[in-house]
Amino acid sequence: PADHRHPAGAVVTGAHLPATTVALTEPPDLLAQAGEDGWLFRGERGGLAGRGVALRIDLPEGLGESQAPARVAEALASIECDDPLQRPGTGPAAIGALPFDPTVAGHLVVPRRIFGRDGDTGWVTTIEPVDAGPGPVVLGPDPAGVPVGSPPDRFTLVPTMTHDGWREVIAEAVEVLGRGDLRKVVLARRIDIEANRPFVVSDVLERLTALYPSCMVFLVEGFLGASPELLISRYGAEVESHLLAGTVARSGDTHGDEALVARLMESPKARHEHQVVVDAIAAALAPACASLEVPDRPSVLGLRNVSHLGTHIRGRVATGPAAPSALELVSRIHPTPAVGGTPTEAALHYLQKVE
């Protein structure tokens, strides 16, 4: 089926969706496999690209609902998979972009065909209904895809809030922080970009990959971008979180950038902002981990346009059936103070009011 829709709270399973994973002689081009309307998570070493929909897993009460990670794990476990590779990323995978607010409904999708790459190793997992039979493995863009035109070459930036209005929002937040109602809050405003022609998704992804090679480039149902931050990864028992908080622009001048980074490291505001995030994530992960390593000082991650303060947290979870999944670990820390604020509930309530 092209789509699976279920009533709120229903248990979603893939009992009639067998999966097969096979090795590829050459690692796949993940951008080409994702095309204009697929799913993509591509990092420096590799990642996953998906096409089609084998299964949709609805989370009607959002990621914050206590049984949400278990519902996803149950759906994935119900798909019988012939996977001789048994590598991280092989077999069925649930992919999605969940809402900023953990109480808002969301969903994950298990693509019908999932291409994976880890360095020089490549594979494809195909998930088909029992009565359909496996289709051919196609390397390259989906031949049924709609041809795309030339990308736009003229743009207009249109703020959805006036500059004075934005200054008022910031001033009010400073007052709230001064009263001690919040320790941190992360404000955002939307800017619309109007182009002279429709955007070409593949062109945007190629540009992001070229400009930000160290970032994770992603595409999920029209939501795309490149992020240097790693919220959570879990490979076997190994858990990692590379959190970023505290930012300074890059000038393009080597000596100037070194001075800017030095001031960032010495800034009480930036260090406090960063430590709030470190403390929150470490406290949330500690009960789920057998061990957790948290550096005493942040390092600096330099990108093409900005430098961030970063802390790389590493831990190990206890192995066995009770080991928390990556999604369960995410549910413990999302949204972090790096994107929302702290205390979390109060910061989210404030953002809902002002944004």
pLDDT by 10-residue block (mean), the chain, 355 residues = 36 71 96 94 94 95 93 93 93 94 94 96 89 47 58 93 94 96 92 94 95 94 94 93 92 85 92 93 95 95 90 91 90 93 94 92
pLDDT for the residue numbered 45: 86
Closest to 140 (Cα-Cα) out of 203, 49, 229, 220 = 49
Closest to 30 (Cα-Cα) out of 151, 141, 143, 145 = 141
Distance CA 221, CA 266 (A): 41
Distance CA 106, CA 195 (A): 29
Distance CA 329, CA 229 (A): 16
Those residues whose C-beta lies under 8 Å from the C-beta of residue 306, and which sit 6 or more positions away, are 247, 248, 249, 250
Say which amino acid occupies 238.
E
Contacts 24+ apart (CB under 8 A), 278-285: 278/243, 278/311, 278/313, 280/333, 280/336, 280/337, 280/342, 280/344, 281/241, 281/243, 281/313, 281/333, 281/336, 282/313, 284/332, 284/333, 285/239, 285/241, 285/313, 285/315, 285/329, 285/332, 285/333
pLDDT for the residue numbered 236: 87
Closest to 34 (Cα-Cα) out of 220, 158, 196 = 220
* Pair of tokens at residue 337: 């103070």
Distance CA 261, CA 256 (A): 9
Contacts 24+ apart (CB under 8 A), 193-197: 193/155, 193/156, 193/157, 193/158, 194/155, 194/156, 194/158, 195/152, 195/154, 195/155, 195/156, 196/152, 196/153, 196/154, 196/155, 197/149, 197/150, 197/151, 197/152, 197/153
pLDDT for the residue numbered 149: 82
Distance CA 48, CA 285 (A): 26
> Residues 36, 42, 47, CA angle at the centre, nearest 5°?
115
pLDDT for the residue numbered 286: 95
CB distance 142 to 51 below 8 Å: yes
pLDDT for the residue numbered 12: 52
pLDDT for the residue numbered 3: 35
Where do we find the tokens 């969940």?
98
Closest to 13 (Cα-Cα) out of 59, 72, 93 = 72
Query: Tell me: the pLDDT tens digits for 236-282?
Result: 899 999 999 999 998 878 888 899 999 999 999 999 989 999 999 99
Query: Tell me: the pLDDT tens digits for 41-70?
Result: 999 889 999 999 999 999 999 999 999 999
pLDDT for the residue numbered 131: 55
CB distance 224 to 316 below 8 Å: no
pLDDT for the residue numbered 13: 56
Question: β-strand 81-82 against 19-24: which pairing, if any?
Answer: parallel
Those residues whose C-beta lies under 8 Å from the C-beta of residue 350, and which sit 6 or more positions away, are 173, 176, 181, 182, 185, 341
